[in-house]
A and B are shown apart, each in its own frame.
Chain A
Amino acid sequence: MNRRSSGGSEPQWEGASTGSPDAGASLAANIAAEVTAFAHEVGSCDPVTVVGAQAHWDVGGTPLAGTREVRAPAGVWEHEPSEMTVRCGAGTTVADLSAHLAQTGQMVPLDPADDAATVGGVLACGFSGHRRLRYGHVRDLVLQTRHVDASGKVVTAGGPTVKNVSGYDLARLLVGSLGTLGLLAEVILRTLPVPAASQWLTGDGDPFAAFDLLYRPSSILWNGSHAWILLEGDPADVAAEASKLEPAGFAPCDGPPPIPAVGRESMRPSDLRALAGTGGEWLAEVGIGLVHRHEAVQAAPVAPANALLMDQLKQRLDPDNRLNPGRRPW
């Protein structure tokens, strides 16, 4: 069974949210049916893994042989532009989501390296995009999640509104858990207006000085000799900020080189400076502390007390280790 909506052919009831109360009710029923069907498919006994676009398939290890593959529901289900929220199936590709939101001048800055990636996949990995400097970590874009747990039941966490502190924040726990605690079925995300202007600049100036100079740039990427800086916002502001960068040796360009997609080395933002002059091909996110590499990176160890808690969380939420066996986020 393939629930992925391919290339914009979306479920019939999409967009019904603005219609009559009846339409709203049937929309809700349809979403519920999709989610329930997914829960049935996940079931409650054998090892399972969700397949998205396999854009991040090896992160944290690959599923053990014999693990059954399922696909999360797909489709942009509800988007109310004036609420700045969007509800979609976790199997929706980022490309589809972006295309849908673009119609009303909105976006969710997930920014995966390959936008064939699914929303669920991006969140399960917890990988923020290159504009994290401006828009924050991906987990802060998530408002509500529905996931299927190890017992095959649907669990809702968070809430549909832009602000919510009702109950424990399981949604944040799921982001970055690689599907080892539950399989995402549906998410509600916060949307943002697409900035009116956007400009990349590049040059060999000091990216750290540039960071201090600018007011909330969207991205600063650096490879040890050159930096690429993204400015977004009001056209006049983008122009003014760009002109501040010119004396520092930055000039407009089309964008950065492709971001290496294999290893993600995590360090403190201030430690990046020490990378200057080190070899290899890498691209670092200044202000964030992330180094993208072509080769795999050994993850930092987890403190024993935390490792114990993580093991116990896994133990409690998936006692039979049937959710994504073989993967481990630490």
Chain B
Amino acid sequence: MSTASPVGEPSGTAGTFPLQLDIDSDTLASCVACGMCLPHCPTYRVTGEESASPRGRIALMRDVAERGEADEAFVEFMDACIQCRGCETACPAGVRYGHMMEVTREALASQTGYQPRLRRLAYRALGMPRLLGFGSRLLGLSQRLGLMRLIGLLGRARPFRQLGAMTASLPRVPVRQSPLIASGDDVWLFTGCVMDAWMRDTHRAVQAVIESTGAGVALPPPRASCCGSLHLHAGLASDTRRLARKVMAALPGEAPILIDSAGCGATMKEYGHLLGTEEARRFAERVQDVHEWLAERVDNLPSAAPGANGSAPLQIAVQDPCHLRHVQQAHLPVRAVLSRYFDVVELDDDGLCCGAGGAYSQQHPEVAGAVRERKVAAIERTGANVVASANPGCTLHLRAVGLDVRHPLEIVAEHLSAREA
């Protein structure tokens, strides 16, 4: 039953403040309120509330754009959107919801004190690899030393609430990781921030699979750390632009830039738009999800190992990260690669979001949890034993409930190395 409430009764409906939403009227008018997007919206699915639906959010934006003022309730309704953009692929009218929401978030962040300080600080850290690396090691240690419980307790006190919620759902973070080693210059493998700090083994696997096609992999220096995707979703577009310039400087040349995290890929493909320069546009054209690149070269991949002592092939359920399916529309290549080796089974939920949504699962744990329950149920219905997910956020979010979730190329890499052995 959908009893979750995105925000409950909004707290302060009294105070209004001026807000300029810079969305043109054609875009605002483009929604005909047919509702076809509703079932594809995770927050509507688990709440059943119009205010948590794309149709409702667009109507609210229109209302605010029209009147030039908003209130706290509006902020909360907007904040409850996961920005998965499932609504956008479902919309027959071609409504550019993602764009509208980005403008709204940016307006909120720049014209009001929308982003809580703590959140801003956390995002800032993502752009600082050394700080992130240190913080992560600290986190890894404290997890082992049971300090997390302390943070959890602290988390009940108001100022720490968010920190508590964030840390509680984190995976066991590695304390020490061996570095990746470049092998050539045919393609760049973008390593990112959180992922490099916490899930470097995924990069290692991805690199191995790329190399198995005969290509050499170049690795960016540490300063190309964060793509700025989370900042963009939070409405901190200027931070994203700053980070984008750093990333672009660190990945020169003409070689394709391969991304193994759907969220990063979606944002980096948008750099042209975001920076508006010719250079950025050319850069964005080089960006590809690693599966897109591999799908064009499946024949160069090593062939499948003959069924290990006749056992049935591994059944893999594919969980499509929203930023791959709804934003990049690059979810089919994942299947092209996986099905060379495994029995791929589809979920029956039309690619509904899993609730991770970048930092969303930390900020709205109740809704994110309810959304995840639907995803888990869909996965269970397939009967598959392994879940492939091409995004670290989704992976962590789903692993937190005990599912065996791996990056598609980790599964492939494992298969390939077993085959060699």
A and B touch in the complex (CB under 8 A): no
Which chain A residues have a beta carbon within 8 Å of chain B's beta carbons?
Answer: none
Which chain B residues have a beta carbon within 8 Å of chain A's beta carbons?
Answer: none
